Every structure is written in C-alpha cells, then in structure tokens.
Structure 1
Amino acid sequence: MIVRIVKMGFYKQNIDAFLDNFHDTKGDIRAFEGCSYLELYRDKTNPSVFFTYSYWESEEHLEQYRKSELFKKVWSRVKPLFSIRPEAWSVEKIETLK
C-alpha cells in the first residue's frame, strides 16, 4: 500500500474555488481503481494550506491515476489557484495504533 500526502497552498481568494472543486471530484477520486481512502485536511495555523491524504493499493494504481483524464481535469482546475508550489510524498505505512 502507498500513502500519498499532498500539500497545497492557495491564495485566500481561491480557497472557495479549491473547496468547490474538491467537493465536485472527491467521489470520483475515491472511486478510482486502487484508491481505498481519501481525506482532506486544513492547516490550523495557516488556513490557506491544505493536505490531501490518500491510500493506494500500489504504486502502479497511483501512477494510473496520475496519468488519467480525471487527474488532468482536477489538476488543470487546481493548478492556477496555488500560492505556493505543491509538495507531494509517497510513503509506506509502517504501523497503525488504535
């Protein structure tokens, strides 16, 4: 399993557009083959910074998403809204405590 974390910062005037786009596409992203989990977080100290957190069955599934028309559609809408360069990490979950 791959955990994908993406950090995005937006101009204040673009936050609502980002949230609208996320609301419109989150179901499609979550339903994409290989995606088993999707969350959106907002930074507590800087409300213009957001993080997505998703689980992918494999690196191949994540790459299929990144090459998909859905990703191109989502990214083309979000990219012009950024105030900072987005950062992304693919990490391996080692342990979960509940």
Structure 2
Amino acid sequence: MFVRIVKMSFEPSKVEAFLDYFETKKELIRGFEGCTFLELYRDTNNTNIFFTYSYWNAESDLENYRNSDLFKNVWATTKQFFNDKPEAWSVDKVVSLK
C-alpha cells in the first residue's frame, strides 16, 4: 500500500469554497483506479489548514491520477484557494492497529 499525505493551507475567506468544491469531487477522487481510501482532516487550532490522506495500491496508481484530467482540473481549482505552498509526503504504512 502506498500512502499520500497532502497539507494545504487556505485563505480563511476561501475555506467554505474549498469545502464545497471538495464535496463535489471526493467521490471521483476516491473512485479513481487504484485509490482505496480517502479522508480529509482539518487542523483543530488552525482551521484553515487541511490534510488529505489517500491510500493507493501502488505508486504508479497515484502517478496515473496525478497525470489525469481529473487531477489537473481539481488541482487547478483548489490551488486558487491557497494562502501558502502545499506540502506532500509519500509514505509506507509501517504499523496499523485497529
């Protein structure tokens, strides 16, 4: 499993627009071939900072998504709401407890 974490910081006045937009795209992102999990988190103290966690079958699946028209359109719209450069990490899950 391949995990992608993305941190995004938004203009406070644009947070609701981002949330509305994400609502319209989340099923398409989650339904992209190779994506097995998608969650959006909001920082408790800095409520204009969000994180996406997505699980992919393989790094190549994430790359296919990143090269897709879906990603290009979603990212082009989302980045208009940013107030800081996004950060992203690709990680391998080491331990998971349920």
**Does TM, scored on the shorter chain, surpass 0.5?**
yes
- Structure 1 residue ranges (4+ consecutive) displaced by more than 4 angstroms after TM superposition: none
Q: CA deviation at 1:70?
A: 0.2
Q: CA deviation at 1:95?
A: 1.1
Unpaired segments ≥5 residues, structure 1: none
Unpaired segments ≥5 residues, structure 2: none
* AA partner of residue 3 (structure 2): V
Q: How does 1:1-98 map to 2 (within 5 A)?
A: 1-98=1-98
Q: Which TM-score applies when normalising by structure 1? A: 0.98
How far, CA to CA, are the matches of 1:97 and 1:26 in structure 2?
26
RMSD: 0.5
Q: Which TM-score applies when normalising by structure 2? A: 0.98
How far, CA to CA, are the matches of 1:84 and 1:9 in structure 2?
6
Aligned residues: 98
Any idea what the Cα deviations from partners look like across 1:6-30, whole Å, max 9, x if unmatched?
0000001110111011100000000
User: Percent of aligned pairs with the same residue?
Assistant: 57
